[in-house]
Each structure stands twice: as C-alpha cells, then as structure tokens.
Amino acid sequence: MSRYDYDLITIGAGSGGVRATRLAGGYGARAAIVEESRVGGTCVIRGCVPKKLLVYGAHFAEEFEDAAGFGWTAGRPAFDWPALVANKNRELDRLESVYQRILRDNHVTLIEGRGRVTDPHTVEVDGTSYTAEHILVATGGWPTMPDIPGIEHAIDSADALDLPDLPGRVVVVGGGYIAVEFAGIFRALGAQVTEIIRASNILRGFDEDVRDALAAEMEKKGVDIRRETQVHSIEKRDGHFSLRVTGDEEIDADTVLYATGRAPNTAGLGLSEVGVKMTNRGAVMVDDWNRSSVDSIYAVGDCTDRVNLTPVAIAEGRAFAETRFNDNPITMDYANVPSAVFSQPPVATVGLTEEQARQRGPMDVYISQFRPMKHTLSGRDERTMMKLIVDAATDRVLGCHMVGVDGPEIVQGLAIALKCGATKAQFDATVGIHPTAAEEFVTMREKRPEHEGGDGRS
Ligand code: NDP
C-alpha cells in the first residue's frame, strides 16, 4: 500500500496536463488532476480552438466577395457576431465535456479548485491536502501587459473571444502570433483595425520574407500597421478610448486589445518555497525528463517556457507519462517543430529561418511568389509566398516557409519530410499534385541569386 493518496497529482487540466494524467491513469496509476477553471485549458477554452473558429467565421466575408468572379450573385450577406460567439461557445462546452469524459474513462479524479504545492509530495486545494508520489505542474501561461496609464481599459485575447458586440474600431497592440491573428479576424469582419508594433516589423523570430509577405498582405486588406510605435497611455472618453502614441498622436478605438506576450502561470503555486528552481521569467526549470530541481516535482507545457505550443505540451506530457508510468523512457525532440499563425492569409513554417541557416554555413534559398489560381477569377489581389532553405553542403532541406491559403495544411506534411532529413533532390523527385499551390514546393528549381536576399537583401 502506497504511503501517498495518489501516484500522480497534476496541477492544471490543459493540453499537457490532461494528456499526461489520462495516460498515467490508463497505465494504472492512481491519478488526480486539479483545475481551478474549465477543463481543457488555454488551447481548448480561450486559445487555439475558439480563435480558429472565429478565423473560419471571418473568412466567409472574403468567400462571398470571391464568389462573384465565379458567376455567383447573392444578396448582401449579413453577419451576426453574437450568433458566431454563441455557436463557438456551444462547441467549447462540447469539447470540455469530451475532456472530462476522457479523464473519467481513465479513472482520473478531477479536483476542482486552485492547487498549491506545500511540500514535495503534497498539494493543497482550497484547504484540503492531497499527497502524491509525483506532482506534475502543467499550469500554462497567462497574458502579460505593460504597466502604462489606462492599461485597465485594454482587453486580452481571452476577452476578445467573447466580446458582446463586434467593435467598429479596434487597436491591437503587439506584433506576435496573437496580435496578427486577431487583427485579421476583426479586419475581415469589417472593423477598422490599427495594429501598433514597437518593432519595425511583425512576427519577430520568423523568416524575414515571411514577415514582409504577411505584413504586405495584411496592409492590402486594410490593417493599418503602425511600426516603431509605442502606446504611452489609454484614456476613456465618452463611449470610446483614446490612445496617446509615439509622436504625441492620438488614436481612437472602441476596443483596445493587448497581445504583448504571455508569461508562465506559476505565481502563488508555492514552488520556490519547496525548493523548485525557477527562471527569471517565472518558468519551472526542468531537465530533458521534465523533472524540476525537486525530484518528485515535474512540469510540462507553457509553464516551463520552452516551445510554447499545444502539440509540444501534449508531447511533453506524453513523454512524462510514458517514462514514469509505462516503463518506456522517452524525451521530447524539439528539432523541426512546425507551427502556424492563423493570420489572413495564414503563415506556416518548419525548420530554420534563412537568418538561422546562414549562421550555420553555406545555404541556398528557393523562393516563389505567385497569385493563387483561385484569384485569377476572383480578382483578389492576394499573393502566396513559399520558401525553401537548403544546406549547400548536404542538400538537406533545413527550412520550409509559406504565407498563403492552406499553408498550415501543406506544411504539416512537409514537416514529416524535414523530420526524415529529406534533401532538395528528394523534394525535386517528388511528383506534384496538379493544380495545387502545394506542388510549388516540389517544383522550385531556381536558386535565389545571393545578392537578392539575406545579408545583401536588395
Ligand atoms: P509573442 O511573444 O508572440 O509576441 C509578443 C508581441 O508583443 C511582440 O510583437 C512584441 O514585440 C510585443 N511586445 C512585447 N512587449 C511589449 C510592450 N511592452 N509594448 C509593446 N509591444 C510589446 O506573444 P503572443 O502574445 O502573440 O503569443 C504568446 C505565445 O502563444 C506565442 O509565443 C506562441 O507560442 C503562442 N501562440 C501560438 C499560436 C499558434 O501556434 N498559432 C497562436 C497564438 C499564440 P517585439 O517583437 O518588439 O518583441
């Protein structure tokens, strides 16, 4: 008989926590999961899933317009924001109940409330203590906003998913994943959108051609990107907000959305107090086996601030459960993790950027920019950009980037090729599917002349 109440107590029922705990339960561990909010976490309840549903909703605006070039005439379509939000929320309720069922089916006890670690084997939830041989911290991340006068008037991405009405004028502050996604949603639905970024371009860390291509497409769609601009204050006026920005300019808005990054959600968990080492950003420091500096305490997902993506948290959760509860030691491989930004048009990427590849040694760039076939009839002025980065010495494809419709669907498949170490010659030997945009990835033959890119960008 174990001296603990459980073999595993997980704090946080998001993507990583649920995967780890339900696998552990399935392997026979006595497992519990503590959650203070809704089961599903950021991705399911206030992130990836609801955001993507709004992206689908927003995209219809262009689809109706594009249909005219294909012979369709229809009355002026009407849009009902509360209907979209209500339908989205119904789907989230369904998904939450699926998650709850998965936990039940794997004999995991759900403990509702806020968990706090009080010693290396004890978690306290609203005054009750539970003991466990292993504790897994999977508390995710939380939006952060700079401390400027009037910041209390700003909303975060979770609030943006549930606005009661569609705002007429939106200011989005930030140039990362979340900012460009919401700028795209609100613009497509007809709002006047200003995106304020402190840097000279959006999507820091992405390939420069991706950043340029997406910014150009967003601007064509009418998003007003204000570069090298800081917000100094936000003031509430009658029924709207006024932002004072760089250059002493004022910008008026009905909604001010801040998407200026996320931080690990570890405050008040009692981790430092029991000896868990934390980074200066408040993330749990873990080794390759997701183990913290305290032997019995582990962590996965955004609270460790490694690669902050849902599928990575899930893979880390699985690696933890396999290692601890299935006698199958595995670690997460962080090489070639693909990701997408559901902007309009979307971005998808896997592997190295041109700038990262250039640091490693000689490389070749293949790039293609074209008008998607659909827009030859729709008349829409939207271009697709595809780019491959190839190691000049080994011919291996090091990076693959796309800005354009269906990019995330296409690049997921190419991520398998990169994971397998595919060479450019193997890409070239692959027969395309015609007519698609994706076939461009296997038909790019001309290297970009060196003077047209990279350091010597012209
Ligand atoms: P990001 O870290 O991607 O971007 C933050 C943005 O805010 C940057 O443009 C940054 O500018 C700017 N910023 C930071 N601080 C300030 C400040 N004080 N004033 C003005 N601007 C500021 O954060 P997000 O919130 O967009 O996303 C968080 C994480 O969520 C991402 O890292 C990603 O891992 C995940 N995510 C993934 C998605 C997906 O896979 N599709 C979708 C949404 C989120 P600068 O460039 O100058 O630093």
**Domain extents for the chain?**
6-143+263-325, 151-260, 345-442
Q: Is the CB of 383 under 6 A from ligand 1?
A: no
153 carries an active-site annotation: no
Q: Is the CB of 175 under 6 A from ligand 1?
A: yes
Q: How many whole angstroms separate alpha carbon 19 and alpha carbon 321?
A: 8
What was the pLDDT predicted at 137?
A: 98
| Minimum CA distance residue for ligand 1 atom 36 | 177
CA of 339 to the centre of ligand 1 (A): 14
Q: Is the peptide bond before 345 cis (omega within 30 degrees of 0)?
A: yes
Q: Is the CB of 336 under 6 A from ligand 1?
A: no
What was the pLDDT predicted at 169?
A: 98
Q: How many whole angstroms separate alpha carbon 391 and alpha carbon 365?
A: 9
- Whether the CB-CB separation of 244 and 236 falls below 8 Å is answered with no
Q: Is the CB of 199 under 6 A from ligand 1?
A: yes
| β-sheet bridge partners, residue 297 | 135
- Supply φ then ψ for residue 241, to 5 degrees: -120, 150
The identity of residue 346, as a single letter, is P
Q: Which atom of ligand 1 is nearest to the CA of 145?
A: 18
Q: Is the CB of 176 under 6 A from ligand 1?
A: yes
Residue for token pair 């800081």: 230
CA of 179 to the centre of ligand 1 (A): 7
Token pair of 214, please? 């997406």
Q: Which atom of ligand 1 is nearest to the CA of 310?
A: 40
What was the pLDDT predicted at 291?
A: 98
| β-sheet bridge partners, residue 226 | 196
What was the pLDDT predicted at 455?
A: 44
Q: How many whole angstroms separate alpha carbon 445 and alpha carbon 230?
A: 43
| Minimum CA distance residue for ligand 1 atom 21 | 174
Neighbouring C-alpha atoms within 13 Å toward the C-beta of 301: 32
For the chain, 458 residues long, the average pLDDT of each consecutive 10-residue run is 93 98 98 97 97 98 96 92 98 97 98 98 98 98 98 98 98 98 98 98 98 98 98 96 97 98 98 98 98 98 98 98 98 97 98 97 97 97 98 98 98 98 98 98 94 50
Q: How many whole angstroms separate alpha carbon 293 and alpha carbon 291?
A: 7
What was the pLDDT predicted at 458?
A: 34
Q: Which atom of ligand 1 is nearest to the CA of 302?
A: 34
Domain 151-260 has CATH 3.40.50.300: no
| Minimum CA distance residue for ligand 1 atom 4 | 176
Summarize pLDDT for 172-227 with one digit per residue, the tens: 999 999 999 999 999 999 999 999 999 999 999 999 999 999 999 999 999 999 99
* Closest-CA residue to 63 (of 173, 161, 188): 188
Superfamily of chain region 345-442: FAD/NAD-linked reductase, C-terminal dimerisation domain (3.30.390.30)
| Minimum CA distance residue for ligand 1 atom 24 | 261
Which residue pairs, CB below 8 angstroms and at least 24 apart, start in 42-45?
42/14, 42/15, 42/140, 42/141, 42/302, 43/14, 43/15, 43/310, 44/14, 44/15, 44/92, 44/95, 44/96, 44/99, 45/92, 45/96
**What is the CB neighbour count within 10 angstroms for residue 419?**
15
- Whether the CB-CB separation of 207 and 399 falls below 8 Å is answered with yes
What was the pLDDT predicted at 271?
A: 98
CA of 172 to the centre of ligand 1 (A): 12
Residue for token pair 């993506």: 309
Q: How many whole angstroms separate alpha carbon 375 and alpha carbon 392?
A: 35
What was the pLDDT predicted at 386?
A: 98
Q: Which of 59, 153, 401, 434 is catalytic?
A: 434
Domain 6-143+263-325 has CATH 3.50.50.60: yes
Q: Which of 48, 260, 343 to mutate to test the pocket of ligand 1 (most atoms within 8 A of CB)?
A: 260
Ramachandran area for residue 168 (φ above 0: left; ψ -120 to 50: alpha; else beta): alpha
Asked whether the domain spanning 151-260 has the same topology as the one spanning 6-143+263-325, the reply is yes
